[in-house]
Structure 1
Amino acid sequence: MQYRTLGANGPQVSAIGFGAMSIIGFFGPTDDKTTHACLSAARDGGITFIDTAELYGGGRSEELIGQFLKTSPHAFHIASKAGIRVKPQRRFDNSKRYLTEALEGSLRRLGVDHIDLYYIHRRDPDTAIEDMVETLQGFIQQGKIGGYGLSEVSPTTLRRAHAIHPCRAVQNEYSLWTRLPDLGLIRTCSELGVSFVPFSPLGRGMLTDAPAKRAAMVEPDLRISNPRFQEPNLSDNLAVISKFQNWARDNGMNTPTAALAWVLQRGDHVIPIPGTRTAAHLNQWIGASEVHLSDTQIQEIETLLPIGWAYGDRYSPAQNIGPETYS
């Protein structure tokens, strides 16, 4: 496993992190034994950075990580997120009162007194950026978090927040089939010394040797209502991905390793966080940081999967409330 710096003055973490949304059964059924086996495989494979959120299973993801940390207390640098209320109805909240309550809840569930990276899960337009960053800066001064991050934001929001207090990381969706951050966000992160943390770097299970099957998806899997997983888009996407699968095989790699290696080579400040429920799936891509794609291979991938190749929007209109758009 290779290692990278999390933000300008942050800790050294594994070049590949672990996204912990899947461990609560969001993308299919699982159980605590399977989750602990998966987390053990991540630790044993050199992963030292794990990403969770208050939102994931109503805190259940944090609880499972907290249970694991009791047996392996120094396994991971932890990132968590807050900013989305679900009761009495879903809404964004970046107020000091809510974020303070949310952070205390996360610390309790994780069983720690410090979180290395604390993200605003979604920006609340009713809270001034200055007030939001001031709240997060207070958490840093109190020693409760090491640094703050932003999620699904534009380059301009990052610049405004960073000018008040340096941001440690930005987490946005990014992969070979979701390339919006190429329109300035990855470059802005690099310029400011901010880590860029791609979530869903394997295309929500599509950039693999066995792409996700729609028939196996059950609620609350967001892919059910996602345009890219509905026909005729799904079949069209699978046809394109099959060419990439063949390319990976011809180049001595499995598909998720090739897809993740491409993401890793977008910059030394890029730290992807693929997620999975099982150790078996994790072991398929955990070695990607050791793979270096040649300039020729990069160009071949870009020819097979050029920017904008995916059929269908990355979110439905209902799902697309919150992420900032830019062009």
Structure 2
Amino acid sequence: MKYRKLGKTGFKVSEVSYGGWAIGGSWGPVDDERSKEALQTALDNGINFFDTADVYGDGHSEKLIGEMNQKTDQEIYIATKAGRRLDPHVAKGYNRENLRRFVKRSLKNLQLDKIDLLQLHCPPDEVFNDKEVFEALDEMVVDGMIANYGVSVEKVSQALKALEYDNLATIQIIYNMFRHKPADELFDKAKEKNVGIICRVPLASGLLTGKFDKDSTFAEDDHRNFNRDGEAFDKGETFAGVDFKQGLKAVEELRKIKPEGLTMAQFALKWILMNDAVSCVIPGGKKPWQVEDNIAASEAEDLSDEVMDEVDRIYDEYIRDSVHHLW
């Protein structure tokens, strides 16, 4: 495993880290014992950064990661998110009182005295213009509730606004073979500000693994079934906002240029890691073998310029017009 600096946190984190959404819920059936095995596999193979949120399984993902942390002597870093518990999820809910309440609940779930990294969880646009929200985060750092804070965003425009806050440590954003805009407009500016980049949805909700076809179906409680058009939350979180059938066409083109010896998932993860502005990528993994497959991307050989250019061509031909302007 290779490690990279995570922005202003100063943490050296595994470039392939762990995303905890799937073990919480909304990804079909989940088995806690298998999830624990997956978490242990991550630890055993050098992953030291675990990302979760208070709404993943209503805190269930946090609890599983907190339990794992209590049982290991390894030094790990835990990031969680706050804000999506608001109902309705509106900007005025992002205030000092609510954020502190959410953080106290997460501290309990995670069995921690201090959270290594707290991220605002894809808040509405107006939140990024509200200095009081970020002052509330500064207060929690001073009070010892959190060590660092960042934002998880849907849109590049939100990330660029967040960069205006001097104490912002990280930005979490969707970046993958089907979502190129962050590299075009954000990454260089983040590097200048020493802000870490955490890449989520790296496999486009599994679409980039190449394991689906036009007849694939998903469980009723899987967001890939119920959120394709944004019925529950931003549609960009599901298949990176790409039309499923169109995405399948692009995946077949990507399969043709995949280097030998890599799985499609490893190819997709390595493509992300080719950008040195990226601090880490956080694929999920409900099963140990999935975690092992993801981790192998860290040691894979760099992709050639020719392959990188071909990925750009495929994006331009199959994907760009439908997603680039939206996020």
Query: Scaled by the length of structure 2, what TM-score is found?
Result: 0.86
Query: CA–CA distance in 2 between the matches of 1:214 and 1:172?
Result: 30
Instruction: Name the structure 2 match of 1:193.
Output: 194
Query: CA–CA distance in 2 between the matches of 1:9 and 1:20?
Result: 20
Instruction: Name the structure 2 match of 1:135.
Output: 136
Q: Which residue among 266, 288, 293 is the counterpart of 2:303?
A: 293
Query: CA–CA distance in 2 between the matches of 1:212 and 1:282?
Result: 22
Pair 1:238-2:248 in alignment: yes
Pair 1:259-2:271 in alignment: no
Instruction: Name the structure 1 match of 2:315.
Output: 306
The AA in structure 2 aligned to 1:56 is Y
Query: CA–CA distance in 1 between the matches of 2:108 and 2:193?
Result: 32
Query: CA–CA distance in 2 between the matches of 1:311 and 1:295?
Result: 20
Query: CA–CA distance in 2 between the matches of 1:143 and 1:325?
Result: 37
Choose 18-27 or 174-183, whichever is displaced more: 174-183
Deviation at 1:157, TM superposition (A): 4.5
Choose 127-136 or 197-206, whichever is displaced more: 127-136
Secondary structure of 2:23's aligned partner? helix
Stretches of structure 2 that go unaligned for 5 or more consecutive residues are 230-237
Residues 58-84 of structure 1: per-residue CA shift (max 9 Å, x gap): 111101111212211545201100012
Instruction: Name the structure 1 match of 2:38.
Output: 38
Choose 65-74 or 273-282, whichever is displaced more: 65-74
Deviation at 1:31, TM superposition (A): 1.4
Query: CA–CA distance in 1 between the matches of 2:213 and 2:50?
Result: 23
The AA in structure 1 aligned to 2:304 is S
Q: Which residue among 273, 288, 293 is the counterpart of 2:282?
A: 273
Instruction: Name the structure 1 match of 2:50.
Output: 50
CA distance 1:168–1:244, change in 2 (3 Å) = same
Contact conserved, 1:4 with 1:268, CA < 8 A, in 2? Answer: no
CA distance 1:233–1:110, change in 2 (3 Å) = closer
Query: CA–CA distance in 2 between the matches of 1:44 and 1:307?
Result: 39
Contact conserved, 2:18 with 2:284, CA < 8 A, in 1? Answer: yes
The count of corresponding residues between Structure 1 and Structure 2 is: 313
- Show the 5 A alignment for 1:74-89: 74-87=74-87, 89=88
Deviation at 1:159, TM superposition (A): 5.2
Deviation at 1:165, TM superposition (A): 3.0
CA distance 1:104–1:22, change in 2 (3 Å) = same
Stretches of structure 1 that go unaligned for 5 or more consecutive residues are 315-323
Choose 32-41 or 188-197, whichever is displaced more: 188-197
% identical equivalent positions: 28
Contact conserved, 1:43 with 1:75, CA < 8 A, in 2? Answer: no
CA distance 1:299–1:8, change in 2 (3 Å) = same
Instruction: Name the structure 1 match of 2:235.
Output: none
- Show the 5 A alignment for 1:6-17: 6-17=6-17
Deviation at 1:264, TM superposition (A): 0.6
Query: CA–CA distance in 1 between the matches of 2:224 and 2:154?
Result: 22
Query: CA–CA distance in 2 between the matches of 1:242 and 1:300?
Result: 13
The AA in structure 2 aligned to 1:223 is R
Deviation at 1:175, TM superposition (A): 0.6
Secondary structure of 1:56's aligned partner? coil
Secondary structure of 1:23's aligned partner? coil
CA distance 1:270–1:101, change in 2 (3 Å) = same
Query: CA–CA distance in 1 between the matches of 2:160 and 2:204?
Result: 27
RMSD of equivalent CA atoms: 2.7
Contact conserved, 1:177 with 1:308, CA < 8 A, in 2? Answer: no
The AA in structure 1 aligned to 2:223 is L
CA distance 1:313–1:103, change in 2 (3 Å) = farther
Residues 210-230 of structure 1: per-residue CA shift (max 9 Å, x gap): 13776541233222231587x
Contact conserved, 2:82 with 2:99, CA < 8 A, in 1? Answer: yes
Query: Scaled by the length of structure 1, what TM-score is found?
Result: 0.86
Contact conserved, 1:8 with 1:193, CA < 8 A, in 2? Answer: yes
Deviation at 1:9, TM superposition (A): 4.5
- Show the 5 A alignment for 1:99-138: 99-125=99-125, 127=127, 128-138=129-139
